Amino acid sequence: MPNFFYQLHFYLFGLIAIASALAFVTRKSPVAAALWLVNTMFSLAALYVMMEAHFIGVIQVLVYAGAIMVVFLFVVMLLNLGHPDELSDLRGTWGRLAAGLIGLALLAQVMALSRSPAPTSLVQSDFARAESMQGLNAVGAVAKPLFSDNLLAFELTSVLLLVAIVGAIVLGKRRASA
């Protein structure tokens, strides 16, 4: 019985995610597109929760739907872009063709990746996972490896983000003064 419910919810949220993602790329109004993206984020969060990754699921909602998309909406509303028809990035036959080819290449990549076995260092046995969830809690199970085994990568990422923020401010300031 639980298996049936699991399957049902998996397909439900999977379908919602895919449908919203399609709507997101096809809507021409920026606000509508942003809202469909929020919907996609939500379904992804639901899928994470179904995989017992409660923390990742909640962070997905908190960071993407709650913070980043609100900022997006804010910018979209503030700029109040003109007619949706003039905004399309896809212009001309060559543009469409290039976009299609890149899409096909990405799809092939996903197919190839999903067929090859995952690296053993990333796979955790069910027993080890249950034990780490027991000993640490929902947050600790993510935090422990992040701040011990992968500390260097984590710190490098934070430096990269800091550089990006500083860069954004510098560029923004320069345009204002010019």
Structure tokens given for 82: 């003109």
Nearer to another protein, 110 or 165 (CB): 165
Least distance to another protein, CB of residue 74, Å: 4
* Residue among 101 and 166 whose Cβ is closer to another protein: 166
The dihedral through the CA atoms of 3, 15, 12, 65 has a sign that is positive
- CB of 153 vs another protein, minimal distance in Å: 23
* Cβ contact 141:55 at 8 Å: yes
Which residues sit at the interface with another protein, rule CB under 8 A? 1, 31, 35, 38, 54-55, 57-59, 61-62, 65-67, 70-71, 73-74, 77-78, 137-139
The DSSP secondary-structure symbol of 29 reads: S
Classify 136 as helix, strand or coil: coil
Burial of 45 by CB count in 10 Å (0-12 exposed, 13-18 middle, 19+ buried)?
buried
User: Please, what is the minimum distance in Å from the beta carbon of residue 143 to another protein?
Assistant: 11
Q: How far is the CB of 62 from another protein (least distance, A)?
A: 4
For another protein, the closer of residues 96 and 129 by Cβ is 129
How far apart (Å, rounded) are the C-alpha atoms in residues 17 and 129? Answer: 27
CB closer to another protein, 10 vs 55: 55
Residue identified by tokens 């299609």 is 100
